[in-house]
Amino acid sequence: MMKVEPFELYSIVTGSIRLDGGAMFGVVPKALWQNVTDVDELNRIPLATRTLLAVDRQSRRVILTETGCGAKWAPELADRFAIRYDREAIPRALEEIGLSEEDVTDVVITHLHFDHNGGLTDWYDEPDGQTTLRYPQARHWVHKGHWEHANDPHSKDRASFIRQDFAALTEAGILQFVEGEHPNAPFEGLEWFVSHGHTPFQLHPILGSGSERVLFIGDVIPTVAHLPLNWVMAYDMAPLQTIAEREAVYRRCFDEGLKLAFPHDPKVPGVAIEGKPERPIVTSALPL
């Protein structure tokens, strides 16, 4: 657990997935990236799916950022990506700190790719039927621009969006749309950062106040191995923009002491960094 006023922060591993190493590191040669991660016989690297839990005891606010791959997978598709999902990971983590899923007040949707937010919904009764919301009592925050993109995606990233993951949100009346490049914060201790390089209008929460703040960096920097400025993914819609966004984030880390929480690192939930944008250096892992 890490304390950043007014929140307690916890990084919860909800499962794992394997994706192609070449796609995950773009133009970086395998001769380089294979030195910083494992790779299997299908050229896939191991990734975690992480949820960032933020708890403000005083205001009774319980925030989940991301929900993992979810359980709505046919075996053959799960095998393709080596998906492992622990549906009880979030309830178990909440129970350990005296809370339950019914206490969740807010869900932050960075973006609607299946590996980040397939866990928003479950099958209602049978596979390929209706879905039911996992957190029907919580407000679900998403950028309006990203919601529009997810419902009409580009051919390059269409396969990353599975409508049954999020279609049930439309009629539930729990969507909270964030708009613009610099959205207003909805409550104390939260600031929004919006990025576009990986996918349009990816929404990142910055949690905490003063000198202790943590940015959930999402797929701008999926793992600690992706910290080198130009090590961006082939999955990115606009890789040059990803590089520019990383540089801006790194400068904030150096100038403001901002810390980073990752969505996909199997071992490192987050880091503090120093140095220069072209060469960030990890100074410590976060106790998440």
Q: Give the mean pLDDT of the chain.
A: 97
Interatomic CA distance for residues 283 and 285, integer angstroms: 7
Q: Are strands 61-65 and 175-178 parallel, antiparallel or unpaired?
A: unpaired
Which CATH number fits the domain that encloses residue 37? 3.60.15.10
Mean pLDDT of 13-22: 98
Mean pLDDT of 32-51: 98
Q: Taking a C-beta distance cutoff of 8 angstroms, is the pair 5, 209 a contact?
A: yes
Q: Confidence class of residue 165 from pLDDT cuts 50, 70 and 90?
A: very high
pLDDT at 127: 80
Q: Taking a C-beta distance cutoff of 8 angstroms, is the pair 192, 206 a contact?
A: yes
Distances 140 to 66, 107, 133, 178, 254 between C-alpha atoms, Å: 10, 5, 11, 10, 31
pLDDT at 124: 86
Mean pLDDT of 245-267: 98
pLDDT at 132: 95
pLDDT at 152: 97
Q: Which strands, in side-by-side order, build the sheet including 202-209?
A: 190-195, 202-209, 212-216, 259-261, 270-276, 279-285
The number of folded domains in the chain is 1
User: Using one digit for the tens of pLDDT, what is the confidence trace for 66-111?
Assistant: 999 999 999 999 999 999 999 999 999 999 999 999 999 999 999 9
Q: Which range marks the domain in which residue 205 is found?
A: 2-285
Q: What is the DSSP letter of 284?
A: E
Interatomic CA distance for residues 257 and 217, integer angstroms: 15
